[in-house]
């Protein structure tokens, strides 16, 4: 980043130098021209020519003395502005590099499993071993397909995406999510319930919003121990509607709340599976609906995730 900022500063400094040289030359010519009559009277004698040369030298020294501090100050300002201009680009490139490296790492594991299981199936051993290997290959291929789909989603700018625009009641989204995860909640001995019954209408893609709510509840189930509770609720507000998922789980350290929506970030849930893309996908869906997704949590105190969308008035 420093090298790019320095190059930008050098180009800006060179441009400024050319402007200053042109301005100084113009000032020199104007100053000499204003003294033309007096200088003409002095010309032609040794003493007069020496006086003219002395005047010209003093004029040049004065111009340089005034221009050099301006040039130095402008160069410093150009470097500082160059750093500010280059910083977002450098940060974006670093995020892209890190994203590519993490995506490659996530894809490497299922590829290695597929290769190993395929070798088992090709050895020509017992049929049940070949079937087990092929089943494992199918599972890993499906996992790679889901991961590739998530990566393609995150590669698209959410704000520029057009999603299905139809009236969606967030109460219906909440109810659907509770039905989808009721069996998992019972198996984990976690209470999963929906609260509220007021209409909370928004314009959007119902399937995407159900996906968002499902990701939040899935994370909450992994973080909530047996005997805990998860509540999903929808409520209308002034010009907006909200969907909230609250759990009594292990919580997230407050200092990590700024990073949990980044791709491939996992936040310490024991036995957590997946690539760490769920919350990044949730944020993408919220942004695509011109909404926001916020998190409130403390370690050991549970978490609250709140989706806010513009309200739809029929």
Q: What is the pLDDT of residues 84-140, one digit of tens each?
A: 665 666 666 666 666 666 667 667 767 887 888 788 777 766 777 778 888 888 877
Contacts of 148 (CB under 8 A, 6+ apart): none
pTM over 0.85: no
Which of 192, 195, 191 lies closest to 227, judged by CA? Answer: 191
Report whether 306 contacts 237 (CB < 8 A).
no
pLDDT digit of tens for each residue in the chain (314 aa)? Answer: 555 545 655 666 666 667 666 766 666 566 566 655 555 565 666 665 666 666 667 767 666 666 667 666 666 666 566 566 656 666 666 666 666 666 676 677 678 878 887 887 777 667 777 788 888 888 778 777 777 777 777 777 766 566 778 999 999 999 999 999 999 999 999 999 999 888 899 999 999 999 999 999 999 999 899 999 999 999 998 899 999 999 998 888 888 888 888 877 766 554 455 567 888 889 999 998 999 999 998 888 889 999 999 998 76
């Amino acid at each position: 980043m420093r090298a790019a900022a320095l190059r930008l500063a050098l180009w800006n400094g060179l441009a400024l130098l050319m402007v200053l040289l042109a301005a100084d030359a113009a000032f020199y010519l104007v100053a000499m021209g204003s003294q033309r009559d007096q200088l003409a009277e002095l010309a032609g004698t040794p003493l007069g020519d020496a006086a003219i040369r002395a005047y010209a030298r003093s004029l040049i020294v004065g111009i340089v003395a005034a221009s050099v501090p301006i040039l130095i100050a402008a160069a410093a300002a150009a470097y500082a502005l160059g750093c500010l201009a280059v910083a977002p680009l450098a940060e974006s490139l670093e995020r892209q590099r890190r994203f590519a490296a993490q995506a490659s790492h996530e894809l490497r594991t299922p590829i290695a499993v597929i290769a190993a299981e395929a070798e088992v199936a090709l050895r020509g051993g017992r049929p049940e071993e070949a079937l087990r290997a092929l089943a494992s290959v199918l599972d890993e291929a499906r996992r790679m397909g889901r991961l590739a789909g998530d990566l393609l989603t995150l590669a698209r700018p959410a704000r520029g995406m057009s999603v299905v625009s139809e009236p969606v009641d967030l109460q219906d989204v909440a109810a659907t999510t509770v039905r989808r995860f009721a069996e998992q909640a019972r198996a984990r001995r976690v209470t999963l319930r929906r609260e509220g019954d007021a209409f909370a209408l928004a314009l959007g893609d119902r399937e995407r919003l159900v996906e968002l709510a499902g990701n939040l509840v899935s994370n909450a189930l992994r973080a909530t121990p047996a005997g805990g509770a998860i509540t999903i609720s929808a409520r209308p507000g002034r010009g907006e509607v909200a969907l909230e998922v609250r759990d009594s789980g292990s919580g997230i350290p407050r200092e990590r709340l700024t990073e949990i929506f980044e791709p491939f970030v996992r936040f310490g849930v024991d036995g957590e599976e997946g690539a760490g893309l769920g919350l990044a996908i949730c944020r993408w869906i919220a942004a695509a609906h011109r909404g926001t997704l916020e998190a409130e949590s403390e370690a050991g105190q549970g978490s609250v995730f709140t989706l806010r969308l513009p309200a739809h008035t029929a």
